[in-house]
Amino acid sequence: MSTSDTSGRPLHLAVALDGAGWHPAAWREPGARPAELFGARYWTGLARTAERGLLDLLTIEDGFGLQSGGHLAGAERRTDRVQGRLDASLVAAFLAPSTSRIGLVPTVTTTHTEPFHVASALATLDHDSHGRAGWRVQTSVRADEAAHVGRRTIPPLRRADLGTPAARRLVAELFGEAADAVEVVRRLWDSWEDDAEIRDALTGRFVDRDKLHRVDFAGEHFGVAGPSIVPRPPQGQPLVVSLAHGYEAALLAARVGDVVLTTPADADDAARVVAQVRAAEHAAGRTAPPLRVLGDVVVVLAAGEAAARDRLARLDALDPLSSDAAVLATTPARLADTLLDWRRAGLDGFRLRPAVLPTDLDAVVDGLVPELQARGAFRTSYGETTLRARFGLPRPVSRYADGATPALVPTPAGAGA
């Protein structure tokens, strides 16, 4: 039975794009297009579909190694799964002129990427998209990814090892590095004041040099002087997003992020997850606006419940799905019921992981979105033009400008001077 949404809060909807979809057998489905996975037309089509559905943003998965199927030890040697992907930040860059309203949030790891490069790439994306850029922050504990870069050695880990003291020390180190990396990137985004560019041909002055600032970050992991080579992004600070399975990751999000992705199992678990995020914010002494909390779910959609379950069973018979997020095989109407039920636990919205692309993305746009709109739970047109504004976040002035209020963006405790 359908339920009406009575919360009055706007529901945020994002979509997570990854290859042929989140199910490992997705590429073998009749509606999949495996021959197009490494072409611009495929990604442009997905982005335009998501924008037609008025979704808040799309994320693009990435990593420094071939797909691992969730294994930490390294890439799989299987040949029956999609292997290889395009660079997420470059995909977002070529999607920017092909879209006009949807947020573009590539995944970029902090473990093997210099923050100066990240700041430049994402500021460029924000200019290119006119204020629609974000960054999904990710760390890596995979030994094979570290070996590709050669800056450090990470011992091979299995999931069973994650509770050991050595693994906890490694994760703490990587999260500390991530916090520093985000702080460096945020400082670099602020290193040009908004009116630093003069561009006055008559006086021969292109820039006001007094409004370009060194960031002089000195920390355990990075030493960065600045300023950036890219003028300040249109949003001031592009949206920073991270995934949190547990308290330590939620604490990282509370220190440096704007939006946190979570993986609740049901409505009761959603309430626990939201409480954990709020506790992490309190522990971090967060003064920025509260984190927007989105729940991740894998979706397998069909016109009937039995058909949806049959689709999932057929996919699992080819190659079983192992997922960190809940898997919902259902109809668009029943999915709307579930999302609105879970939202009452305090979630601000959801990031949907389509099991098969483009099939389940089409079902989200043409089935779920109209259901939510009919219940007054989702927008019927885009309003705000920037991604920060869409999440109700103010545009901060540069922290280096006179009268700045840097508390509008997070600053990790213990960040370098």
Is residue 331 a part of any domain in this protein?
A: yes
**Mean pLDDT for the chain?**
93
Predicted local confidence at residue 405, as pLDDT: 58
Burial 284-323 (b: 16+ CB within 10 A, else e): bebebeebbbbbbbbbbbbeeeeebeebbeebbeebebee
Mean pLDDT of 86-102: 98
Is residue 289 a part of any domain in this protein?
A: yes
At 406, list the tokens. Answer: 């840097």
In this structure, which amino acid lies at residue 105? V
Is residue 87 a part of any domain in this protein?
A: yes
DSSP 77-111: --SSS------HHHHHHHHGGG-SSSEEEEEEESS
Is residue 350 a part of any domain in this protein?
A: yes
Is residue 215 a part of any domain in this protein?
A: no
β-bridge partners, 327: 298
Is residue 175 a part of any domain in this protein?
A: no
DSSP 257-308: -SEEEE--SSHHHHHHHHHHHHHHHHHHT--SSPPEEEEEEEEEE-SSHHHH
Predicted local confidence at residue 71, as pLDDT: 62
Is residue 3 a part of any domain in this protein?
A: no
Predicted local confidence at residue 70, as pLDDT: 67
Is residue 60 a part of any domain in this protein?
A: yes
* Residue 112 belongs to domain spanning: 12-158+229-408
Contact 373, 365 (CB under 8 A): no
How far is Cα 409 from Cα 239, in angstroms, rounded to an integer? 10
CATH number at residue 368: 3.20.20.30
pLDDT digit string (tens) for 347-370? 999 999 999 999 999 999 999 999
The number of folded domains in the chain is: 1
Reported as a pLDDT band with limits 50, 70 and 90, residue 67 is confident
User: Does the pLDDT value for residue 4 go beyond 80?
Assistant: no
pLDDT digit string (tens) for 229-250? 999 999 999 999 999 999 999 9
